[in-house]
Amino acid sequence: MPFEIVRNDIVKMQADAIVNTANPYPEIGSGVDTAIHTAAGPELLQARKLIGNIARGDAAITPAFGMQAKYVIHTVGPVWEGGNVAEAECLRSCYRKSLELAQENGCESIAFPLLATGNYGFPKDQALQIAVSTISNFLLKHDMMVYLVVFHEKAYALSEKLFKDVQSYIDEHYVAEKLEEEYAKNLPYGELLERRMIRERRERLKEVTLPISNDIMPDFVVGCGSISLEDLLQEEEMTFSEALLDWLIAKDLNDPDVYKKANIDRKLFSKIRNNPDYKPKKNTAIALALALELDLEETKEFIGRAGYALTHSSKYDIIIEYFIRQKNYNVFEINEVLFAYNYPLIGA
């Protein structure tokens, strides 16, 4: 099952287990701890007292009592002291042990806050990277729906370098596209339409040369690659599902390798794989292209089978292109950026 970053109040999440940023002692702390104890009722504190102290990096489980969830998992994060006293490993342990407890107790879903970033002072960008990497590594081996719940924008931060790199790439490509669009507004409608048609055809036929004399060949076809018209027509007939199967065979991948990396549900993957006429949503098609680790041209051709394209008039598409050009196919890391820009997540 997939991993999703959501904006919500964690006590309102519908999940089997809710993770609490607990006090190391059996006392109610501030922030998330207070909110969860208030929602669960006084019985939660009594159950917490039976557990006693919890070491930093460790986790314990109790019933959720008055909450919608079945369980509350109490974990104690590290206090940030500059990063020199194994704070990162302690935080990874919080996520890992909470996930293990949820699995041991038959949970199919779990919701985390961004741990240790409140009073404990863990830098939000580093905490986010640890949360995403630990959760995604767990999901490559296990099936569980995992939510990372962010209450407000101030609680969420990308690394400064990643944000600057992505924003720079967006600015470079999005602005150029918009300038072209502004210029095109002043063109007569007929010329504008013709330019768009030629640009689309060139994009689709970049590497295609038809066996036709140049005397009768349209401008947008001249100077391209070498493939027969018959081959081209056969390619056009291939569905997205058939293309997916071809790539699975070509890359010698099994189904779990792909749907887990794509951050999509096994049942949805099965529908796409077994129904030649199934048309996935754009974010699902992109997720599968990333899981297959296709390059940019392969990605465009692949998602084109489902009727989609990547363009520089969409910041969402530019972000996807940036990561593909960087050869970073990690859907979970890409979703960090998409969430920061308030775009739909890939896969989930």
Catalytic residue numbers, as ranges: 33
DSSP for 137-162 reads HHHTTS--EEEEEESSGGG----HHH
User: Is the distance from CB of 310 to CB of 317 less than 8 angstroms?
Assistant: yes
3-class DSSP state of 128: helix
- What radius of gyration, in Å, describes the C-alpha atoms of the chain? 25
- Measured between alpha carbons, how far is residue 348 from residues 5, 35, 345 in Å? 9, 27, 6
- Count the neighbouring beta carbons within 10 Å of the beta carbon of residue 126: 18
Question: In sequence order, what are the residues at sequence separation of 6 or more whose Cβ sits closer than 8 angstroms to the Cβ of residue 7?
Answer: 149, 150, 151, 152
Alpha-helix runs per DSSP H in 205-281:
229-237, 240-250, 255-261, 266-274
- Residue 146 forms beta bridges with which residues? 3, 110
Which among 41, 168, 148 is positioned nearest to 98, based on CA atoms?
148
Question: In sequence order, what are the residues at sequence separation of 6 or more whose Cβ sits closer than 8 angstroms to the Cβ of residue 5?
Answer: 147, 148, 150, 335, 336, 339, 345
- Count the neighbouring beta carbons within 10 Å of the beta carbon of residue 120: 19
3-class DSSP state of 263: coil
